[in-house]
Amino acid sequence: MRKMIPVKDVNVTDAFWRDRMELVREVVIPYQEEILNDRVEGQEPSHAIRNFRIAAGLEDGEYYGMVFQDSDVAKWLEAAAYSLAVYPDPDLEARVDEVIAVIAKAQQSDGYLNTYYTVKEPGKRWTNLREHHELYCAGHMIEAAVAYYEAVGKRQLLDVMCRMADHIDSQFGPEEDKRQGYPGHEEIELALVKLYRVTGEKRYLQLADYFVRQRGQQPHYFEEEARQRGEKDITLTHGLWDHSYTQSHLPVLEQTTAEGHAVRAVYLYSGMVDVAMETASDDLLETCRTLWQNVTKQRMFITGGIGSQGYGEAFTVDYDLPNDTAYTETCAAIGLVFWAKRMLQVDLHGSYGDVMERALFNNVLSGISWDGRRFFYVNPLEVRPDVAAYRQDHRHVETERQGWFGCACCPPNVARLLASLGQYIYTQNDEEVSVDLFVGSEARFTVQNEVVQLRQETQYPWDGTVRLQLQLDEPLAFQLAVRIPSWCRRPELAINGELVELPKVTEKGYACLRRSWSDGDTVELQLPMQPERVYAHPAVSENAGRTALMRGPVVYCLEEVDNGSQLRDVQCPLDAAIAEETGIGDWPQAIALTFDGFRTRFPANALYAMGQLELEAVPVKAVPYFLWGNRQPGEMLVWLRQG
């Protein structure tokens, strides 16, 4: 098993990603703090902090918001914790401590913590696991507690959540006097493993294992629970949910395809890997490998997005990957990153790093505006504002990023991922250090009880040169594994200036460099980047006769601001020379792609026409998908007609 590197042991120096992390520190965290305190005019009220104050007896009032409103506070706290680990800030730390003090006061005497049930339905705890997110909220707050303890060493929130975990353990498990239930929305599984790792309390790991393996067992808990609530229809709620929605249609070891709500699914799979790593459970790992193949080979968009339809925010069937109605929730791509990183800890395979990179550079970054104050919940691959504003099947599509949402899970989720980016760049064990992402950084490792420091320099994703330099007190033999992205056709690698024959050292998408390393040794990786046409599997019917453009890990799109409206009419000829152009608006380093394309000359005032239509040559400009919607509203298109 490999481990992730603590956030505080990686200093991100990268021009591209450090800018995003500083944005989180300087803009996103303060902005979201104001939102959570209902101090931003014109935005959807959150009431999340006030719910805790009411539950703590510090204010009078009624509960407001979704049943999972507590989780917005938890994710904000987690983002703040990661930021504090990298950028100490006494003022932010003091504000975090104030929020934690309120949370501690809101905890009930038996350890229970959930403002919805404390304030709104105090007599109905644990009666609706399928829908009401008690365990989900607890999981997010546990993650925040662990992150804050590891960042600044303070235990108050950690102690609060240990008491909550103890309470949950007293309520759930295989014993006859406990509930044999599990969460409708997975998240606590991975959180309990984090809590186990930081406390050493095995009951938390055992409870995580129980929640994973109990899911989908018969008699079905959600049906029994619904009967106890007196519901007539025990399998459906609001005409939406069957058991696949909550990944409880089968026991997890029998599942072979990704089903239901996409965020829940990847949170479950992440928890399964965590439990497997700590319990040496090969059965869980083999299931995750099977599910990984299904998600990434049949059910993932080119942007790294997952979840094809708005109805249920869910997976559908293999190769059903629509563009204009794609749901591709930002949280789902974030969960895919979580899962990919955990799979890398188990098995050093380039496919996991490739998907993690694809999701980060495309679907995740699309979810937040470049100024950090506006967000996408849904990330379609085609937008026509006039259609989206009218059609019922497009009602989930926002054509512009929003300042906040009534269901605001995505904005703080983006913040906590970007703030913690350092822990996704590398993995290690006692014999190996792997470079999984190309992000300029300085990292510290302990290998065979010796300190190894690694400096990575790169201008990725605009340039494919990556330089690694090692710092050691004494020579040390270990393996340095460097991911070779599958998108790169002609990679080159040199150690101290001497070329290495990559085919001889490449295993499962990684250049595995085992040798005795000395202070100052350098590895230079050249990943030539060129515009590439990408084609979808023939079964993806929406993309028949279409192509998408990529350069390195970045997916490109057309925007109306550059190309006018009716983007579906733009054709990319097979023989078009695709050129690069540096500088896009306020982003001088960004690279656009340009080519000479065609549009149709269609008869005026006609709806249909017969005969061969004339084509008009037009210049076409494509920009990185993650930047779309940052200049002005309008149409957007990823998949182009192949001329």
272-311 pLDDT per residue, tens: 999 999 999 999 999 999 999 999 999 999 999 999 999 9
The dihedral through the CA atoms of 480, 485, 488, 489 has a sign that is positive
Could you tell me the residue range of the domain that residue 544 belongs to? 531-642
Among 526, 544, 574, the domain boundary falls at: 526
Question: Is residue 495 scored above 80 in pLDDT?
Answer: yes
Predicted confidence (pLDDT) at residue 237 exceeds the cutoff of 70? no
Q: From the CB of residue 120, how many other CB atoms can be counted at a distance below 10 Å?
A: 16
Q: What's the start-to-end Cα distance of the chain, in Å?
A: 49
Confidence at residue 232, expressed as pLDDT on a 0 to 100 scale: 75
**Strands 441-447, 450-458: parallel, antiparallel or unpaired by DSSP?**
antiparallel
Cβ atoms within 10 Å, residue 320: 16
Residues 113/160, Cβ–Cβ less than 8 Å: yes
Half-sphere exposure of 204 (CA within 13 A, CB side): 24
Quick one: pLDDT band at residue 553, thresholds 50, 70, 90?
very high
Residues 436 and 518 in one domain: yes
Centroid of chain to Cα 634: 26
- Choose the final residue of a domain: 458, 491, 526: 526
- Asked if 503 and 573 sit in the same domain, the reply is no
Q: Give the pLDDT of residue 238.
A: 45
3-state SS of the chain: helix, strand, coil percent to 5? 40, 20, 40
H or E stretch at 622: strand 614-624
* CA distances in angstroms from 209 to 225, 357, 452, 466, 481, listed in the order given: 21, 29, 34, 40, 31
Going from the C-alpha of 643 to that of each of 99, 354, 568, 599, the distances in angstroms are 58, 29, 12, 10
The residue to which tokens 């996409």 are assigned = 262
Q: Do 517 and 432 belong to one domain?
A: yes
Residue 438 has pLDDT above 90, yes or no: yes
pLDDT at 129 over 60: yes
Q: Per residue in 342-368, pLDDT tens?
A: 999 999 999 999 999 999 999 999 999
In a domain, 331, yes or no: no
CB environment 8-31: b (16+ within 10 A), e (fewer): bbbebebebbbebbbbbbeebbeb
**Which CATH number does the domain housing residue 449 bear?**
2.60.40.1180
Backbone dihedral region of 457: left (phi > 0), alpha (psi from -120 to 50 degrees) or beta? beta
Say which amino acid occupies 311. Y
577 DSSP 8-state letter: P
Q: Considering the domain boundaries, does residue 538 fall inside one?
A: yes
On whether both 545 and 638 belong to a single domain, the answer is yes
Q: Which of 465, 499, 526 is the last residue of a domain?
A: 526
User: What band does 44 get if pLDDT is binned at 50, 70 and 90?
Assistant: confident
- Together in a domain, 570 and 519: no
* 240 pLDDT higher than 80: no
Residues 58 and 502: their CA atoms lie apart, in Å, by 64
**Residue 544 and residue 609 in one domain:** yes
Query: H/E element holding 346?
Result: helix 330-346
Range of weakest confidence among 139-153, 587-601, 602-616: 602-616
With respect to residue 252, please indicate whether it lies within any of the assigned structural domains: no
pLDDT tens for each residue of 459-488: 999 999 999 999 999 999 999 999 999 999
Give the span between the Cα atoms of 80 and 63, in whole angstroms: 25
Q: Are residues 521 and 541 in the same domain?
A: no
Q: Are residues 505 and 549 in the same domain?
A: no
Contacts of 90 (CB under 8 A, 6+ apart): none
Please indicate, yes or no, whether residues 434 and 471 belong to a single structural domain of this protein. yes
Q: Summarize the confidence of residues 144-156 as an average pLDDT.
A: 98
**Farthest CA pair distance, the chain:** 79
Residues 501 and 535 in one domain: no
Catalytic machinery residues: 313, 409
- Cβ distance 455 to 471 under 8 Å? yes
- 446 found inside a domain: yes
Quick one: average pLDDT of 570-599?
96
Q: Helices then strands (H, E): number in the chain?
A: 20, 23
Average pLDDT over the chain, rounded to whole?
A: 96
Q: Does residue 59 fall inside a structural domain?
A: no
In a domain, 434, yes or no: yes
Confidence of residue 1 (pLDDT cuts 50, 70, 90): confident
Confidence label for 236 from pLDDT (cuts 50, 70 and 90): low
Express as a percent the part of the chain with pLDDT over 70: 99
Instruction: Calculate mean pLDDT across residues 68-77.
Output: 98
Q: How many CA atoms lie within 13 A of 23 on its CB side?
A: 19
Q: H or E stretch including 114? A: none
Task: Give buried/exposed letters for 187-222 (b at 16+ CB in 10 A, else e).
Answer: bbbbbbbbbbbbbebeebbbbbbbbbbbbbeeebbb
Residues 540 and 519 both lie in one domain: no
pLDDT at 568: 96
Q: Is residue 638 part of a domain?
A: yes
d(CA 101, CA 68): 20
CA-to-CA distance for 72 and 47, rounded, in angstroms? 10
Q: What is the pTM of this model?
A: 0.97
> 3-state class of 348 per DSSP?
coil
Q: Distance (Å, rounded) from C-alpha 433 to C-alpha 362? A: 26
Q: What is the pLDDT of residues 376-405, one digit of tens each?
A: 999 999 999 999 899 999 989 999 999 999
Whether residue 430 lies inside any domain: the answer is: yes
Q: Which of 293, 317, 311, 295 is nearest to 378 (CA)?
A: 311
In this structure, are strands 640-642 and 571-572 parallel, antiparallel, or unpaired?
parallel
Whether residue 588 has a cis bond before it, omega within 30° of 0: no
Looking at 506-604, list the stretches that DSSP marks H as alpha helix, in order from N- to C-terminal side.
560-563
Sort 414 into a burial class: Cβ within 10 Å, 0-12 / 13-18 / 19+. buried
**CA angle, 12 then 517 then 525, to 5°:** 55
- Number of domains comprising the chain: 2
Task: Report the alpha-carbon distance of residue 553 to residue 460 in Å, rounded.
Answer: 9
Backbone angles phi, psi at 23, to 5 degrees: -60, -40
Residues 508 and 579 in one domain: no
Which among 71, 440, 193, 155 has a CA at the least distance from the CA of 79? 71
Query: What DSSP state is assigned to residue 368?
Result: B
CB neighbourhood size of 149 (10 A): 20
Give φ, ψ of 184 to 5 degrees.
Answer: -70, -40
Contact assessment for residue 71 and residue 136, using Cβ atoms and an 8 Å cutoff:
yes
